Structure 1
Amino acid sequence: MVSKKPICIIMCEAWTRFLDLGGWADTWFAKYGFIFNIAIRPGVLVQIKIYKRNGRKERVCITAESYGQTYLLDPDIPSYKNQDIALLEAALEIMKVPKDLYLEINIYSEMPKGAGTGTSAAVTTALIGALDRLTYGRLAPHEVAERAHKVETEILKLQCGIQDQLCSVFGGINFIEMTDYPRSIVSQIALPKEIFWELERRLLLFYLGNAHSSSEIHQLVIKRLEDSGADNPILQGLRKCACDAKDALYEGQLKKFGKIMIKNNELQRALHPQLISTKADQIFKLAQEFKAYGWDVNGAGGNGGSVTIFCSPDDSTKRKLIDVVEKMGGGIQYIPTNIPRDCLRVWQAKF
């Protein structure tokens, strides 16, 4: 029987992200690229209660608290049949859970499912970061990101860029140079406090009311980019947006930064008109009416997911915009965020 008191409790917190400029240029078919993104809370929190197994048949119990689901898993015999837990099974497999331990794993996030904010990558990095504490040695943040990326691309054979995993472990505001997929250099953008605070105050995240999902549209875009090669003019434009965004922030040019957001959004539209949904465009129209500086869809776009708005400096106007957008209905909701400056957080809970 499992003892009532765990040997220890391991915690790990990883970040989600928004405002990914240069997206689509972090993929295998892009080969190289520049990406700008910002880590945010709400992130993903993983808690592992560790017990001696003491002859118990089960080895891992995972509870996805946000969705009210619990699963019993054997790390040595992953099935990969259930898409809801395939990422978790692959993370357990790659981390080699000690056979003499029984784990109770709880995964929690306040980010809506399918928001297009890299939540699945944050789940994987947080789980790998916590599981790393069970064995000798420690993974550096970039090594956690590399393993999380391998989970999706090598074990599960999924289409996957590199930016989500990197942002989830490094936190802050990031400029990523992908030198040769999947190799990359991550530079954190250090800004004056006033600029950082303005971004944190004025960048608004809106969930569109339904989950983003890979679709036929995304497959068409991937095929088009694969056929046209790494120097496709739209990919080149997206790369330039990431570089220009970095430069604008270093210069303190916030209006310029907002215009770059809009340009990035229109380049995604040029990949395929349906990457920018009707709901997203309705919100962008309202944002323009409320004199917002910029807007952009998060992630790969398409039906569902979320958008980021860079609102005007006036705080009351910001609150009016939030109110009007939420009154659109259809499940649209404002999600309060802040920008964590820490790397992946891993620690042992204190009794």
Structure 2
Amino acid sequence: MRRIINSVAPIRICDNGGWTDTWFAKYGNIFNIAVYPYAEVQIEVMPLQDGKPDISIYAENYGEQYIVNRERLGYDKHPLIAAAIEKMNVPTDISISVTIFSEAPAGGSTGTSAAVTVALIGALDRLTPGRLTPHEVAHLAHKVETEMLNQQCGIQDQLSAAYGGINYIEMFDYPYASVSQINVPDSIWWELERRLVLIYLGKSHSSSRVHEQVIKHLENEGPDCKKMCDLRKTAPIARDALYKGDFLALGQSMIQNTEAQQNLNPALVGEDARKIIEIAKDHGAVGWKVNGAGGDGGSITLLCGSMSFTKRDLIKEIEQENKLYRNITIYLSRHGLRVWEN
């Protein structure tokens, strides 16, 4: 019988303590916020029929449709998709058509690729006996990137996509971590959502020579170096501030984290990000965080002041400053990975 499996997973912003969720950090503290827009996956499942492809992929954002050879998956095109399918051991007696879409721009430094992988693994999990927990899905998604594709990758993006909500992650021994969700009254949740702005800087972020230099430097200095400790400190400050509903303190933790990123290497806070920060200051923003590892391109999270019109004026000026800058409408995601069938 024909089945349609749907799954969605949120992206993340405001990742205080990022860089400490990596193999060279060994242990870390991370605060992050899961938000819409989702990464979306839909799988149409049919009985295997002679003459019809058993696995087809539609990467909707790229306008690409192609057939995957189960015997020779290969990683030449959209390797995350191929690796996730290989990892999940799709049964050989069915034909599947996989559609993947996200409104969040690729390379936006918001964990979009991790959200796609989590959503895809969650959907593929419906094709085999048993069910994975959110933590297990996140762990598998991380292994796809690091072990199968040999990419540099921390653990926080996959955990945020799997759990949703606002998270405090304690990585006690890479890659093993505990996740504590920060539950706050609706009034704090709504106010946080109202104040947050996500600005895409107009070009995709990608791991670069700068990141390789930073990693080599941190690896040589060791996990207890001051630069790592400065980053770790920002996560509990953000956690405690949010519990209190203290948005000024939350904003300060974001600023502190961005300065700590810059101390790793000045190029991690690029020219576009600095320009956005100056505009944000002029409009009374109380916090800013260069998302992800930082560097050229990507995105920045802003925490605005108490008046809504200043947020609208801020967005307007940013988009007028450079036609490539774009506000991405976000909503806080109370849920992480969700999987269901039509």
Does the alignment reach a TM-score above 0.5? yes
Query: d(CA) in 2 for partners of 1:182 and 1:288?
Result: 37
List runs of 5+ in structure 1 lacking aligned partners. 1-5
> 1:111 pairs with 104, 116, 136, which one?
104
Q: Does 1:312 align with 2:305?
A: yes
Partner of 2:164: 171
Query: d(CA) in 1 for partners of 2:212 and 2:118?
Result: 26
**Correspondences of 1:1-150 after superposition (within 5 Å):** 7-56=2-51, 58-82=53-77, 85-150=78-143
Partner of 1:191: 184
Question: What is the deviation of 1:57?
Answer: 5.3
Query: d(CA) in 1 for partners of 2:160 and 2:330?
Result: 15
Number of equivalent positions: 342
Using the TM superposition, name which of 119-128 and 50-59 deviates more: 50-59
Question: What is the deviation of 1:141?
Answer: 0.4
Partner of 1:299: 292
> 1:262 pairs with 255, 264, 273, which one?
255
Q: Does 1:328 align with 2:321?
A: yes
Question: What is the deviation of 1:65?
Answer: 0.8
Query: d(CA) in 1 for partners of 2:336 and 2:34?
Result: 10
Partner amino acid, structure 1, of 2:124: L
1:26-67 alpha-carbon deviations (Å, 9 max, x no partner)? 000000000000001011010000111112352211111112
Partner amino acid, structure 2, of 1:239: R
Partner amino acid, structure 1, of 2:166: I
Could you tell me the TM-score, scaled by structure 1's length? 0.96
**Correspondences of 1:196-235 after superposition (within 5 Å):** 196-235=189-228
State the identity %.
51
Q: Are 1:75 and 1:92, in contact at CA under 8 Å, matched by a contact in 2?
A: no
Partner of 2:333: 340
Ranges of 4+ aligned residues in structure 1 off by more than 6 Å: none
Query: d(CA) in 2 for partners of 1:333 and 1:56?
Result: 45
Partner amino acid, structure 2, of 1:228: E
Partner of 1:3: none
Q: Are 1:295 and 1:307, in contact at CA under 8 Å, matched by a contact in 2?
A: yes
Aligned-partner SS, 1:291: coil
Q: Are 1:12 and 1:346, in contact at CA under 8 Å, matched by a contact in 2?
A: yes
Query: d(CA) in 1 for partners of 2:278 and 2:322?
Result: 16
Aligned residues: CA RMSD: 0.9
Question: What is the deviation of 1:330?
Answer: 4.2
Query: d(CA) in 2 for partners of 1:56 and 1:298?
Result: 46
Could you tell me the TM-score, scaled by structure 2's length? 0.98
1:162-210 alpha-carbon deviations (Å, 9 max, x no partner)? 0000000100000000000000000000011111111111110000000
List runs of 5+ in structure 2 lacking aligned partners. none
1:86-119 alpha-carbon deviations (Å, 9 max, x no partner)? 1111000000011111111110110011100000
Question: What is the deviation of 1:232?
Answer: 1.3
1:114-139 alpha-carbon deviations (Å, 9 max, x no partner)? 10000000111100000000111111
Using the TM superposition, name which of 52-61 and 244-253 deviates more: 52-61
Q: Are 1:15 and 1:122, in contact at CA under 8 Å, matched by a contact in 2?
A: yes
